[in-house]
């Protein structure tokens, strides 16, 4: 039929809308289409009405993104019914989970004081303008959390499984009990542990969020976020996503899905390398302190061992260069040859970051000091290279700052 049409028409339609195949691609194809057709208009009507599965428009859902969502529901679901909703970033996922938990004008949240900087800003700078109050607490101090939950009656209790940059570990089962008793939904940012190490839904969390930009994607080439919860709660999150947008694109979903396939292999290597590097750093005179949950010196080592110890303690650590300020830290970071000074984490590459001028820049030096983030603190995202090569690079850079 196209043969007889004008080149204007041919160019638009030629090659498209092939018959549905009778073969099955082994890996998920990327579907960039924003439109979906049904032979029978009543089918389209039924999809719009939620009476049959299907796709109508990508802000409502699309095939490649749905594949990532199914995968995350399996990985975080811990054998119970769970569903995932993917977002364009981790921050969009954090926002959506808070709304899902019931954050509205006039409600309050209790959150870990050392949540990721943008999460802190969302609570402290944006949600406050919408009459949402947040009380920040030391999430490792259960007496303080209990008191805050009792006083605030929050709709949500928010924590990160391992915090940045001091690697404090949240006792999620204990926090789930406190949240339940106080009528709050527990929201756990599981970015640093990934479901390889810990599955918060299994331990009483209502919402799990991820910056999939980190370990889930794993290769430093995709920005994405995911919220995982019960199917009922996920339905609610998706309804809100239809209005708010911040949907993940199909190319990004495909990259994240591809990343997931090697998540356990990468995490195993990250964990082994990080423990080796942390133990080595602890023995160096130039290092005043190492923060890694796998070390016995870590204040929440016992909690970390109980929650995740079977498989390891993650790939993230931080350490304090003895007597150093910004100038010495910068010289150290510039002297590194293998370890890259880049502003992200959870990639296959080893990466360093200076929290005082990046993730925690917006805090005053006094607030940083109160949180334990001194001027000599360096964060290290230990990659999957050979541990000895990472250590050799750290050693030569330490020698240069003397
Ligand atoms: C623990 C944690 N949660 C959330 C986010 C936000 O994720 P994204 O940058 O993908 O929006 C980050 C980003 O670094 C993070 O480290």
User: Does any ligand 1 atom lie closer than 6 A to the CB of residue 223?
Assistant: yes
Examine residue 47 and say whether the peptide bond preceding it is cis (omega within 30 degrees of 0).
Answer: no
Return the pLDDT at 388.
Answer: 98
10-residue stretch averages of pLDDT, the chain, 402 residues long: 94 91 94 96 94 96 98 93 98 98 98 92 96 97 98 98 96 98 98 98 98 98 98 97 97 98 98 98 97 98 95 98 95 97 95 89 81 92 98 97 84
Of the candidates 31, 116, 292, 354, the residue annotated as catalytic is 116
- CA nearest to 294, candidates 197, 191, 172, 174: 197
For ligand 1, whether the C-beta of 120 sits within 6 Å is no
- Ligand 1 centre to CA of 90 (Å) is 5
Q: What is the pTM of this model?
A: 0.96
Ligand 1 atom closest to the Cα of residue 191 is: 1
| From 135, 168, 199, 214, the catalytic residue | 214
Instruction: Report pLDDT for 78.
Output: 79
213 lines ligand 1 (CB under 6 A): yes
Q: Is 214 one of the catalytic residues? A: yes
pLDDT at position 367 = 79
What pLDDT does 156 receive?
Answer: 98
Pocket test for ligand 1, best of 211, 216, 220, 315 (most atoms within 8 A of CB): 211
Give the position, in ligand 1's atom list, of the atom nearest the Cα of 115.
1
Q: Check pocket membership of 189 for ligand 1, CB cut-off 6 A.
A: yes
Spatial contact of 283 and 62, defined as CB atoms under 8 Å apart: no
Q: How far apart are the CA of 397 and the centre of ligand 1, in A?
A: 28
Which of 38, 59, 138, 236 is catalytic? The answer is 59
Closest atom of ligand 1 to CA, residue 94: 4
116 is catalytic: yes
Residue closest via CA to ligand 1's atom 13 equals: 211
Select from 176, 142, 116, 120 the least CA-distant residue to 316: 116
Pocket lining: 116 vs ligand 1, CB cutoff 6 Å: yes
For the question of residue 354 being annotated catalytic, the response is no
Q: Atom 8, ligand 1: which residue's CA is nearest?
A: 90
104 is catalytic: no
Ligand 1 atom with minimal separation from the 212 CA: 10
How many angstroms does the Cα of residue 141 sit away from the middle of ligand 1? 24
Q: Is the CB of 112 under 6 A from ligand 1?
A: no
């Amino acid at each position: 039929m196209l043969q007889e049409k004008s080149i204007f028409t041919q160019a638009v339609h030629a090659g498209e809308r092939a018959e549905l195949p009778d073969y099955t691609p082994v890996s998920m194809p990327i579907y960039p289409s924003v439109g979906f057709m049904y032979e029978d208009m009543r089918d389209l009507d039924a999809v719009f009405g939620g009476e049959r599965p299907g796709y109508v428009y990508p802000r409502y859902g699309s095939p490649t993104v749905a594949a990532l969502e199914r995968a995350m529901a399996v990985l975080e679901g811990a054998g119970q019914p769970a569903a995932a909703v993917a977002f364009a970033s981790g921050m969009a996922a954090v926002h959506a989970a808070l709304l899902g938990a019931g954050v509205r004008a006039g409600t309050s949240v209790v959150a870990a004081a050392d949540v990721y900087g943008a999460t802190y800003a969302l609570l402290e700078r944006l949600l406050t303008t919408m009459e949402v109050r947040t009380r920040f607490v030391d999430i490792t101090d259960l007496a303080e959390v209990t008191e805050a939950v009792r006083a605030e009656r929050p709709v949500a209790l928010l924590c990160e499984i391992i915090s940045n940059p001091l690697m404090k570990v949240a006792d999620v089962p204990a926090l789930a009990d406190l949240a339940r008793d106080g009528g709050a939904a527990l929201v756990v940012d599981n970015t640093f542990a990934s479901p390889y190490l810990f599955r918060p839904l299994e331990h009483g969390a209502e919402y799990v969020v991820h910056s999939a930009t980190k370990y889930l994607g794993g290769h430093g080439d995709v920005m994405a976020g995911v919220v995982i919860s019960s199917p009922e709660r996920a339905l609610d999150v998706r309804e809100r996503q239809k209005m708010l947008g911040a949907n993940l694109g199909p190319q990004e979903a495909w990259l994240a899905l591809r990343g997931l396939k090697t998540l356990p292999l990468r995490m195993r290597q990250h964990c082994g390398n990080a423990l080796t590097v942390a133990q080595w750093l602890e023995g160096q005179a130039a290092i005043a302190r190492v923060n890694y949950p796998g070390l016995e010196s870590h204040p929440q080592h016992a909690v970390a061992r109980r929650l995740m110890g079977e498989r390891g303690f993650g790939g993230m650590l931080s350490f304090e260069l003895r007597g150093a300020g910004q100038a010495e830290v910068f010289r150290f970071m510039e002297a590194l040859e293998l370890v890259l000074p880049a502003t992200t984490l959870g990639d296959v590459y080893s990466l360093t970051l200076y929290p005082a001028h990046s993730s925690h820049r917006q805090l005053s030096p006094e607030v940083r000091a109160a949180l334990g983030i001194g001027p000599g603190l360096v964060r290290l995202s230990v990659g999957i290279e050979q541990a000895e090569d990472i250590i050799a690079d750290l050693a030569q850079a330490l020698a240069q700052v003397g």
